[in-house]
Amino acid sequence: MANKSLFQTIAGALAPKADSFNEAGARAYSLSPSGALAQYAATGCLSQTFYASAEDQLAQVLKLCEKVPTDFIARTALHCRQKGFMKDVPALLCAVLAARDAERLELIFDRVIDDAKMLRNFVQILRSGVTGRKSLGSLPKRLVRRWFETRSDEVIFRADVGQSPSLADILKMVHPRPATKSREALYGYLIGRKHDASALPAIVREFEAWKTEPVGNPPEVPFQMLTALPLTTEQWQAIARRAPWQMTRMNLNTFSRHGVFTVKEITRLVASRLRDEAQVRRAKVFPYQLMAAFQNAGADVPHEIKEALQDAMEIAVSNVPAVDGKIIVAPDVSGSMHSAVTGVRKGATSKVRCIDVAALISAAFLRQNRDAEVLPFENNVVRVSLNPRDSVMTNAQKLASLPAGGTNCSSVLIDLNARKVQADLVIYVSDNESWMDTPYHGHFGGSATRTMSEWMKFKQRNPNARLVCLDIQPYATTQAKEREDILNIGGFSDSVFNVIAAFARGELSQDHWIGEINQTPL
């Protein structure tokens, strides 16, 4: 027999060599241009993150767009808008297509620019000149005019909220032709020009009449049109009775401050609305937005309302997959994860942090997989005891309160290997900016990342295991190189759970997440 000490297998020796550095300056693997663009589209809000400025993100997206086909740009915009519910980068990608591929833009425009907020984003980005042009041009103008032509008078009136640009600004840019007397009057009303008031749509006439004499119930117009007006408690209660789901979620403290919840029947009505499964799904709410509403609800918001938010959370994460076999979930609780999940932007910085999202996703997996092991990590693994029977919100808050240190992604696999754990699926939820377990700038050292090396050791013991790196920040590197048993994916919406479930079952096509995007029909 050959000398075992001389010819023993070196665990981890065949791990691929690192080819890049991450934003923290440590060894990493570059995502492909397609993978990186998808990551930015699924998580990027074009705001300052812990490691990168908004300007850096914009430059990176534009650079990546030069490296991929316009067909992929179009599919990415469509996928990340329809399934990821993102706004900023999908609108930016449409602006890129306006300069590079008008045919692809026309194919996806109506499905990506699907509401007034997206329309304002698209026009603002295009006119800024960042994609190479400052005027809308003939095709974008035609598409914007089509946006107006395919919407009713009432929808257009209700969309008249928001600035920079306002809906009136856009109307003045594209000059849509009114097909009816009411539309002609509405356009004149919106841009402040002479119009036939008697021809205005009924909802506009009702609103103008009520502004003149604000008595009785307010008209059913967007909430933002009413907040500057002096409203009585009874009028606030009337607003709360008929408020749509998202408006309700976002204004619980406002309702409480104006006496809405002093009427028990309205409190029950609002709670019932918040926990209504059909409305939760129709609202396309991010789970972290429900966490924000729960955390921000003041002491005067009734307990029944807070309970309803927890019920809504259970619905929002209900399609987290139940995975056959043993599952390990590793939320990153390091210092960089305490930055705002959607980045820092003056006047629009979310109170929800990356660590809150990581904790929430981990708690959701535990809820659906009761024997899952949750291993938070920073410098090292942080031991924590969680009850899978507790609510998602309760366990998420417990995880998010853990102490923070540096980032060491490999610590989880080091711990699993030391304990010789058998598992079928390992899920990281992180910003992937590991730096404590690898050399800094200067050389790659001809080595793999420590995470990849430890995964190779783990695979020797668990040959059928799969690894998911769920990244919740817009960066272009990873600690584990994409291959058959490794999925790199980004995003906040519950659609990522469907992709992870398909990956765990071995059902994804080659390139996994990118393959899913490439299947998006244009």
Profile the chain (522 residues) by mean pLDDT over runs of 10 residues: 46 74 89 91 77 83 94 94 86 94 95 94 91 85 96 94 90 94 96 94 93 86 82 92 93 94 96 95 85 90 95 86 90 90 66 86 89 94 91 88 90 96 95 79 67 95 94 90 92 81 84 87 90
Q: Supply angle C-alpha 289, 158, 122, rounded to 5.
A: 70
C-alpha to C-alpha distance for 304 and 281, rounded to whole angstroms: 21
C-alpha to C-alpha distance for 386 and 390, rounded to whole angstroms: 8
Edge to edge, what strands does the sheet with 373-374 contain?
373-374, 327-331, 425-430, 466-471, 486-490
Residues 6+ apart with CB under 8 A from 327: 365, 369, 371, 372, 373, 423, 424, 425, 426, 427
C-alpha to C-alpha distance for 177 and 405, rounded to whole angstroms: 59
C-alpha to C-alpha distance for 90 and 119, rounded to whole angstroms: 11
Cα 491 to Cα 164, 180, 441, 488: the distances in Å are 27, 43, 28, 11
- Do residues 432 and 469 touch, judged by C-beta distance below 8 A? yes
C-alpha to C-alpha distance for 124 and 165, rounded to whole angstroms: 6
Structure confidence at residue 5 (pLDDT): 46
- Do residues 201 and 159 touch, judged by C-beta distance below 8 A? no
Q: Supply angle C-alpha 52, 54, 56, rounded to 5.
A: 60
- Joined tokens for residue 40: 């930015």
Residue type, 413: L
Residues 6+ apart with CB under 8 A from 6: none
Q: What is the CATH number of domain 18-29+320-518?
A: 3.40.50.410
Strand ranges, E, within 431-521: 466-471, 477-478, 486-490
C-alpha to C-alpha distance for 292 and 351, rounded to whole angstroms: 7
- Nearest partner of 182 among 173, 174, 190, 171, judged by Cα: 190
- Nearest partner of 91 among 48, 52, 140, 135, judged by Cα: 140
Q: What phi and psi, each to the nearest 5 degrees, are found at residue 381? A: -65, 140
- Do residues 86 and 80 touch, judged by C-beta distance below 8 A? yes
Number of other residues whose CB lies within 10 A of the CB of residue 304: 15
- Nearest partner of 199 among 188, 179, 178, 185, judged by Cα: 185
Torsion sign over Cα 274, 277, 282, 284: positive
Structure confidence at residue 10 (pLDDT): 45
Helix (H) or strand (E) holding 28: strand 27-30
Residues 6+ apart with CB under 8 A from 411: 377, 378, 379, 380, 381, 437
- Joined tokens for residue 316: 């929002």
C-alpha to C-alpha distance for 454 and 411, rounded to whole angstroms: 9
Structure confidence at residue 114 (pLDDT): 94
Structure confidence at residue 484 (pLDDT): 92
Number of other residues whose CB lies within 10 A of the CB of residue 426: 26
- Joined tokens for residue 443: 């050389």
C-alpha to C-alpha distance for 366 and 386, rounded to whole angstroms: 9
Q: Go through the chain and tell me how many residues it has.
A: 522
Torsion sign over Cα 63, 68, 74, 76: negative
Domain locations in the chain? 18-29+320-518, 86-221
Helix (H, G, I), strand (E, B) or coil at 105: helix
pTM: 0.87
Residues 6+ apart with CB under 8 A from 66: none
C-alpha to C-alpha distance for 170 and 126, rounded to whole angstroms: 12
Q: What phi and psi, each to the nearest 5 degrees, are found at residue 471? A: -100, 130
- Joined tokens for residue 475: 């960066």
Q: What phi and psi, each to the nearest 5 degrees, are found at residue 344? A: -100, 125
Structure confidence at residue 4 (pLDDT): 47
Strand 27-30 to 373-374 pairing: unpaired
- Joined tokens for residue 382: 């942080």
Strand ranges, E, within 356-471: 373-374, 425-430, 466-471
Instruction: Give the CA dihedral 138, 140, 142, 143, nearest 10 degrees.
Output: 160
Structure confidence at residue 324 (pLDDT): 85
